[in-house]
Amino acid sequence: MTELLFNAFIMNTVSHIQHGLWRHPAARQADFDDVQVWIDLVRTLESGLFDAAFFADVVGLYGPVNGDYEVNAREGLQIPSHDPSVLMSALAVNTEHLGLAFTSSVLQAHPFEFARRASTLDHISKGRIAWNIVTSTQENAARNFGLDRLTAHDERYEWADEYLDVVFKLWEGSWDEGALLKDRQRGVFSDYTKIHKIHHVGKRYRVEGPHLPAPSPQRTPLLFQAGSSPAGRAFAARNAEAQFISTPNPAAAAELIADTRRLAEAAGRHSDDIKFFQGFVLVTGSTEEEARRNEADLERYISPDGFLAHANLGVSQDDGRPLPPDTLLADVKTNGGRSHIEWMRKSVPDREPTVADLGRLTSRRHARLVGTPEQIADQLVVWQQAGIDGVNLINWMIPGSYEEFSRHLLPVLQKRGLAKHEYAKGTLRAKLFGHDRLNDRHPAARYRGYFTPR
């Protein structure tokens, strides 16, 4: 049996995925602005041998342009939220092995500044930083950075291609190996001849360089990506080392993974150059009946309004305010999410479902595994056979969901050979792939020595 990898899927906010659960008396996420909450959490994750804390992020509100955001504010739906990259330093110095992955959009930071920040964090963490590459999907995010509207979907990936081109040149090509000397005898800290300007000129960016930080332990942070559209899969196949997927069942996961691995090979990489992390919500109990009772208790706190606002299905009144929860789906007029709504109507054959029903259904858009630790382990084996390499564990509550994993599920997984007993040494990339730096098949590798005078 092959060991699975485990990430904690979290966000520096009140309500990330499981909207409404911040109200649970055992939940600490309402105090997300207290750094001690996160320090305590990463220590919990490290004691549970998690591979990484994976921080999601957004830079805009969910919802239509000029729409009402009362639900967002009421539910804490990713507002207020804080910058996860700023948090990384505190978490790095309070952990030794745990990977620290943060999301940053190509929209929000100039690539020169971002590359410097990521390298700094990789130095502080001694090589445990990962970057989740996103292009942003909120219209409000685009307006927050001076655009009139969100850039078209496929064009956002063209933008991301150039963004990566810049940061790869900085991380991999600006400093040759051996440029950093620290030679006290000769009084030479760095070898000028081995540090290069990159002189990038492209459609969106002009960057002269050189990269200001010396190479960090990984040079390029471990690269995550989550897009599952055709453009997103092609982008991941070219660039990602790990992809976060959210498929409804093992068959769908197998199809998506096989297609992305095929695209990776077509791009000159190996099929196993990418590891796939499926998002899961877990509910455990000592018996299946107890697990179902625990699930029912958690669902009492779910906010249908929050899930609908997050899904952005277009289920709202003309002024952007949410429809009343007892509105029949047959009466809902929308251009977005129509197939989702029709599927919901068919799934409730004995009555006409309501907006509240739609909200509850949307709360299950991530794969949910419910049962005893042994039953959940059985299900994870099925998903592993479909091709996943790891789990992105979505929490109900911080820190409780991760404490329960470590206390109840981890021992069962270890006994079956599905989870490690100790951390490997080295950087995050070394732990996952066996080497500190990107392999030679990755497109960033072409910039090694690229700027060295011939």
Considering the domain architecture, whether residues 27 and 141 belong to the same structural domain is answered as: yes
Residues of the chain with pLDDT under 50: 335-339, 343
Residue 303 lies in a domain: no
Q: Which tens digit of pLDDT belongs to each residue from 293-319?
A: 999 999 999 998 888 788 765 555 555
Considering the domain architecture, whether residues 112 and 215 belong to the same structural domain is answered as: yes
What is the β-pairing status of strands 200-201 and 5-11? unpaired
Sign of the four-CA dihedral 437, 440, 446, 448: positive
Residue 187 lies in a domain: no
Considering the domain architecture, whether residues 205 and 220 belong to the same structural domain is answered as: yes
Residue 179 lies in a domain: no
Q: By residue range, what is the domain housing residue 343?
A: 310-362
Question: Cβ–Cβ contacts within 10 Å for residue 309, how many?
Answer: 29
Question: Cβ–Cβ contacts within 10 Å for residue 300, how many?
Answer: 10
Considering the domain architecture, whether residues 210 and 342 belong to the same structural domain is answered as: no
Residue 204 lies in a domain: yes
At 77 the pLDDT is: 95
Q: Which of 300, 360, 363 is nearest to 325 (CA)?
A: 360
Q: Which CATH number is 143's domain given? A: 3.20.20.30
Residue 33 lies in a domain: yes
Considering the domain architecture, whether residues 357 and 402 belong to the same structural domain is answered as: no
Considering the domain architecture, whether residues 317 and 414 belong to the same structural domain is answered as: no
Domain count, the chain: 2
Considering the domain architecture, whether residues 214 and 132 belong to the same structural domain is answered as: yes
CA dihedral 293, 295, 299, 300 (to 10 degrees): 20
Residue 338 lies in a domain: yes
Residue 223 lies in a domain: yes
Residue 385 lies in a domain: yes
Render 220-274 in DSSP notation, one character per residue: SPEEEE---SHHHHHHHHHH-SEEEE--SSHHHHHHHHHHHHHHHHHTTS-GGGS
Considering the domain architecture, whether residues 262 and 319 belong to the same structural domain is answered as: no
> Considering all CA atoms of the chain, what is the largest pairwise distance in Å, rounded to the nearest integer?
84
Considering the domain architecture, whether residues 356 and 213 belong to the same structural domain is answered as: no
Considering the domain architecture, whether residues 166 and 29 belong to the same structural domain is answered as: yes
At 64 the pLDDT is: 76
Considering the domain architecture, whether residues 207 and 287 belong to the same structural domain is answered as: yes
In the chain the first and final C-alpha atoms are separated, in Å, by 49
Asked if residues 218 and 129 have their Cβ atoms less than 8 Å apart, the reply is yes
At 206 the pLDDT is: 98
Considering the domain architecture, whether residues 45 and 79 belong to the same structural domain is answered as: yes
